[in-house]
């Protein structure tokens, strides 16, 4: 279920980007869509440091690799 949402998001993003690089980050809104949770819940997850994120220009960016690993039940490497 989550993998299908991730794949759909990645496909929609590549439709807008004419480049051959892999998506390396998610926005909080994408995390919200993938998990099907509220914006507040998505921000709480990001702030809880269960996966790697950085704040850039007032907005959070989440490491795709770290998030996907967390979602699959693995532990983050730090």
Domain boundaries, the chain: 2-71
Q: What pTM did the predictor assign?
A: 0.66
- Asked whether the predicted pLDDT for residue 58 surpasses 60, the reply is yes
Residue 78 confidence class, pLDDT cut points 50, 70, 90: very low
Look at the block and give the residue holding tokens 């960016």.
61
CATH 2.60.40 fits 2-71, yes or no: no
Show Cβ contacts of residue 15 under 8 Å, excluding neighbours closer than 6 positions.
none
Structure tokens at 26: 């998610």
Q: Which helix (H) or strand (E) holds 63?
A: strand 59-63
**DSSP-assigned beta bridge partners for residue 63:** 25
State the pLDDT at residue 21. Answer: 58
State the pLDDT at residue 15. Answer: 53
CA distance 44 to 77: 20
pLDDT higher at 50 or 4: 50
State the pLDDT at residue 9. Answer: 76
């Amino acid at each position: 279920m989550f993998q299908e949402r991730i794949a759909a998001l990645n496909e929609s993003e590549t439709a807008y980007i004419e480049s051959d690089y892999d998506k390396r980050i998610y926005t909080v809104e994408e995390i919200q869509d993938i998990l099907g949770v509220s914006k507040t819940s998505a921000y709480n997850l990001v702030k809880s440091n269960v996966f790697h994120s950085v704040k850039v220009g007032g907005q959070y960016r989440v490491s795709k690799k770290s998030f996907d690993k967390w979602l699959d039940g693995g532990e983050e490497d730090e």
